[in-house]
Structure 1
Amino acid sequence: MNRDAEATRRRLLQAATDEFAAYGIAGARVDRIAAAAASNKAQIYHYFGSKDGLFDAVFDAMCRETVDAVPIDPANLPEYGGRLFDSYQARPWVQRLAAWYRLERADTGTLLPIVMESNAAKIEAVAAAQRDGLLTTRFSAPELLGLVLHLSGFWSSHTPEMGARLAEDGLARQREVVVRAVAALLSAS
């Protein structure tokens, strides 16, 4: 792929990230994405096949970026939860894209390979730490990972009214709550 084609593809992905985060899959408009990327709709279909294919590419890129930026450390899950929280604060569109994905794709039966692979690797890392006695076995490895992931994203999953109250604590306190909640989860017997 030449530089111009790769640059066009990157612009389309960035514009699509913004559009999907704001409007979801159903509400996103390929004409707005094309205009924001200084491209055209034909390029979207050329590179991604469809609006759904474009969303999948955006979600795939977001997941890969998160996995690379925040590798799991099963020996220190509280800090892993804190680093995920930091990542979500630095990239607020991640939680919005994930929410749209859950809302609009949950019933399709389509599972994205990057998400499946990432979850499998993390679950195996947690299970290995459990076998080695480093983590509690009170919860299965998938349950424990799910709880850590949800705690790290807690701040973006509540109503605006609760968010207004919780925001008073500030980011440092919010991160501390995530780390302490994961630590408490691990100490539970």
Structure 2
Amino acid sequence: MFTMRPATGDDTSAVKDVILARSAWLEERGRPTWRDSAEDLAAQASKGYMWVLESDSSGVIGCTTLQEEHPPWGWTPAELAQPALYLYTTATHPDWRHYKPGTLIAFWAVDHAARNDKQWVRRGCFFPGLVRYYETQGFHLAHEVARTHHRVYLMARQAQHLAAGAILR
């Protein structure tokens, strides 16, 4: 069984381990990683807006950040006025990929947003491959934004109650 819960400072080490395991997996495939920022990202566990995915048997196997604030660039004023949560910095341990923990986290966020009277869950990424992956989770590409050094793909999914709420305690 899996559980989503707010991260605490006590989770910093476990979150860092997840980020480093994911980074190693990405590096083996020649993809960009978070290795250089693993410590800074893991420190978010004590900030109050990170959540962790736990396995009953193995502890923390994933993490994500969920906030009401999101980048003002790329979204229209009408979109910014809508109640939404912004999902970012999701990392999962690759040893658990057969359980699709990233999808569990995304579905949990969609359900969590609905339970908290939000209309949308939004997220962004830098890679077309992630766009395709997030589309399998029901997100749609809302905007493409050229930033200084990257193209950013901004995605959205309407908040709704999902069965993932029953999977995740």
Say which one has the larger Rg: 1
Give the structure with the higher percent helix. 1
TM-score in same-fold range (> 0.5): no
Q: TM-score, normalised by structure 1?
A: 0.31
Q: TM-score, normalised by structure 2?
A: 0.33
